[in-house]
Amino acid sequence: MVKYNDLGVADPLAKAWRSRASGGRVDVALGAIVSMSACCSSFSRAAADFLRMARDGCCAWAAKISPTAESVITTIITGAFVALWH
């Protein structure tokens, strides 16, 4: 599509699409927004499920809640797991 040394911009995928089709930049930007939203919602859902399992006794050490009622341990573990996969 495009030579690799021409992609030194903030949005290289959109630039590659722009070189082949009109309107590609909007499509790629919209796709990025949707995919980031899906990733964030699945992360928060996984953290909530992990906390629920911890409260049921699966791993009681993870069921501890901070004074501000946040599940810090499950959020950190789930966040690290998601970060490793991305």
Residues 21-68 pLDDT 10s: 665 567 777 887 888 788 777 777 777 787 788 878 877 777 777 666
How far apart, in whole angstroms, are the C-alpha atoms of residue 64 and residue 52?
A: 11
Which amino acid would we find at residue 6? Answer: D
pLDDT of residue 41: 76
How far apart, in whole angstroms, are the C-alpha atoms of residue 27 and residue 39?
A: 18
Q: Is the pLDDT of residue 6 over 80?
A: no
Average pLDDT value for residue range 70-77: 76
Give the pTM: 0.45
Which pLDDT band, with edges at 50, 70 and 90, does 15 fall under?
A: confident
